[in-house]
Amino acid sequence: MSQQINVGLLGWGTVGTGVTKIFQQNAGLLAQRTGIPLFIKRIADLDLKRDRGITIDTGQLTTRAEEVINDPDIQIIVELIGGIEPAKTLILKALQAGKHVVTANKALLAEHWDEIHSTARKFSQEIYFEASVGGGIPVVQGLNEGLAANRIQAIYGIINGTANYILTEMGRGQSYSSALARAQEKGYAEADPALDVEGGDTMHKLVILASLALGKRVEPQDVHVEGITRITDQDILYAREEFDQQIKLLGIAKQAPEGGIQVRVHPTLIPAEHLLASVQGVYNGIYVVGDSVGATMFYGKGAGEMPTASAVVSDIIFIARSIHMGAAGKVPSVYYHPQKSIDDLKIEPVGELISEYYLRFNVKDEVGVIAKIAGMLGEQGISIASVIQKARHQGNMVPVVIMTYEAREKNVRKALESVDRMPFVMQPTLMIRVEKFDE
Ligand code: HSE
C-alpha cells in the first residue's frame, strides 16, 4: 500500500498558486483529514518564471501537461487551466489513464457535462468540481449530498463575484469601468471579462447547479441570459431610493407556476430586506429552496486565490480519502441521468414569465411623451404601478422610469418594441425583472 497520495496540477495561475500554498501551510492538517499524507508531485504551466510568492522544488515543474498525466505515481489530476481546450482533452486523457480528476472549470462542465461524466463512469474514476461554482462556498456538495432528500423548488444565485463587485461599487458611487478594473487587479475577473459582465459565467454555474439539482442535464442553450452592461448608477439609485430594492445579477432555476422550469440569468430587482440583498462585493450567495428543508442560503467568497483553492483542496481530500479506503471510483460523483430531452424538462420560454418590470425609457424631454408610453403599455394590457421622472437630464435626454404591475413578458416586449420605434426615444429601453420570493 502506498505511503502517500500524489497529486498533479495542470495550471499554476491564481487558483493553482493558492492550492500550493494550502499544501505548504496545512500539510499536517491535510494528512490528518485524509488519513495519509498528500503531496503535489508535479505542476505543469506554460509560464514557470512568474514570481508567485512561493518556493517550490523546480524538479516538480514542467511545461508539459502530458508528463504530469502520464506520471504513474500520480493518482489525482487537478485541472486549473480553465476554458474548453486544452483542458477538455487533458481531463479526458487523465480519466482514461485511470486518474481521478478535480476541476474548477465551469465552462467545460457546463458545455460538456455528459461527455465528462460518462467518461469518468466508464473508467471508474471520480471527478469533483466544488470550485466551479461559488469559489470557496460548498454549494456543489451541498446540493449533491446535503440536500439530496429534497425536490429543489428554486435556486437563486449571485454566482459571479466580479458582477456583484461592480454593482456594489457602482452603488457606492464608483464608475462601472473603474470597478471592473479593480476586479481584474484582484484576480476575480475571467480572462475574458465579457463572461462576467454579460452573464456567461453565471450561466455556466447555473447550468451546473440546475443539472445537479434536477438530476438531469440542463444545457447552456436552455438558459435565457442577460448581463449588467446596461445598468447605470442611476438605476441602482432609483431601485434603492424609490422602490427599496437592490439590483443583483441572479442565476435563477425554479419550478414555473404553470409547470416546467425556468432557467434564466439577468439583472434582477430584489427586496432590500431579502438575505440575497446583503451579499455585497465579491461575495456570492446561493439561496436554495427545497421541499423538505425550506429555504437555505450558502454564502462566502465566490472568487479569488485562497477561497477557490479552499474548494479545490477539499475535493482533493475527498478523493484521497476514497483512494485511501479503497472505495475510489465505486460510487459515481454525481447522480444524474444522461437521457434528458428539453421536452422532458419542459423549460419555460422567458416570454411566458409573469413578473413586475422596472422599465427605464430614455426619451426626449417633450410634452406628451409619458402619455404616449402609457398608451402603448395599456394596449398590451400592462398596468402601471408608478412613474418617476426626475430632472436628471443627460443632454436633451431624460430617463423616465415606470414600474409595472405583474405582466406577461411577451406582452411587455411587444409594447417596448412599439415604444422604441418612436422618434422621441433616444436609446433602447432598459427592462429589469422584479423577483418576488415565495419563501
Ligand atoms: N470570474 C469569476 C467571478 C471567478 O467573478 O465570480 C470565479 O468563478
Q: How many CB atoms lie within 10 A of CB 272?
A: 13
As to burial, measured by CB atoms within 10 angstroms (0-12 exposed, 13-18 middle, 19+ buried), residue 5 is: buried
Please report the pLDDT score of residue 338 as a whole number.
Answer: 64
SS3 (DSSP) at 154: strand
| φ, ψ dihedrals at 127, nearest 5° | -135, 125
- Of 301, 332, 366, the residue that ends a domain is 301
- Does 130 fall in a domain? yes
| Residue of 137, 168, 188, 305 to test ligand 1 pocket, by largest number of atoms within 8 Å of CB | 188
Q: Give the model confidence (pLDDT) of 122-136 as tens digits.
A: 999 999 999 999 999
Domain count, the chain: 3
CATH code for the domain of 373: 3.30.70.260
Residues whose CB falls within 8 Å of the CB of residue 383, separated by 6 or more in sequence, listed in order? 377, 404, 405, 407
pLDDT for position 393: 67
Can you give the pLDDT at residue 259?
87
Same domain for 124 and 12:
yes
Q: At 220, which CATH number?
A: 3.30.360.10
pLDDT in tens, 200-227: 999 999 999 999 998 888 999 999 999 9
Same domain, yes or no: 207 and 265: yes
Q: Are residues 237 and 317 in the same domain?
A: no
Q: Which residues does the chain have with pLDDT short of 50?
A: none
Active site residue 205: yes
**Does 115 share its domain with 79?**
yes
Rounded Cα distance, 127 and 88, in Å: 13
Task: Judge whether 378 lies within some domain.
Answer: yes
Are 275 and 331 part of one and the same domain? no
For ligand 1, whether the C-beta of 188 sits within 6 Å is yes
Q: What is the pLDDT of residue 129?
A: 98
User: Are 160 and 214 in a shared domain?
Assistant: yes
Q: Pick the residue whose CA is nearest to atom 7 on ligand 1.
A: 303
Give the domain-ending residue among 286, 313, 340: 340
For residue 199, give the C-alpha cell.
Answer: 452573464
Query: What's the pLDDT at 216?
Result: 81
- Pick from 353, 348, 341: which is nearest to 260 by CA? 348
Residue 392 pLDDT: 62
Q: Write out the residue range of the structural domain in which residue 381 sits.
A: 351-434
| 305 CB within 6 A, ligand 1 | no
Q: Is there an atom of ligand 1 within 6 Å of 135 CB?
A: yes
What's the CA-to-centroid distance between 78 and ligand 1, angstroms? Answer: 18
Instruction: Judge if 272 and 149 occupy the same domain.
Output: yes
Cβ of 160 closer than 6 Å to ligand 1, yes or no, is yes
Residue 351 has what pLDDT? 97
Residue 275 CA: distances (Å) to CA of 101, 203, 437, 439:
34, 21, 11, 11
345 domain residue, yes or no: no
Same domain (yes/no): 173, 275? yes
Picking from 340, 366, 393, the residue at the C-terminal end of a domain is 340
∠ CA 325-326-331, nearest 5°, is 100
Q: Which residues contact 187 (CB under 8 A, 6 or more apart)?
A: 14, 303, 304, 305
Residue 146 forms part of a structural domain: yes
Same domain? 327 vs 238: no
C-beta of residue 212 within 8 angstroms of C-beta of residue 334? yes
Q: Name which of 93, 92, 99 is nearest 76 in CA terms.
A: 99
Is the CB–ligand 1 distance for residue 193 below 6 Å?
no
Distance 183 CA to ligand 1 centre (A): 10
303 pocket-lining for ligand 1 (C-beta < 6 Å): yes
Asked whether residue 312 is assigned to any structural domain, the reply reads: yes
Please pick, among 41, 99, 205, 301, the residue that the annotation labels catalytic. 205
The region that residue 304 occupies, defined by phi over 0 for left and psi between -120 and 50 for alpha, beta otherwise, is: left
129 alpha carbon – ligand 1 mean position (Å) = 14
- Whether residues 229 and 309 share a domain: the answer is no
Co-location of 193 and 296 in the same domain: yes
394 and 245 assigned to the same domain: no
Which residue's CA is the closest to the ligand 1 atom numbered 4? 303
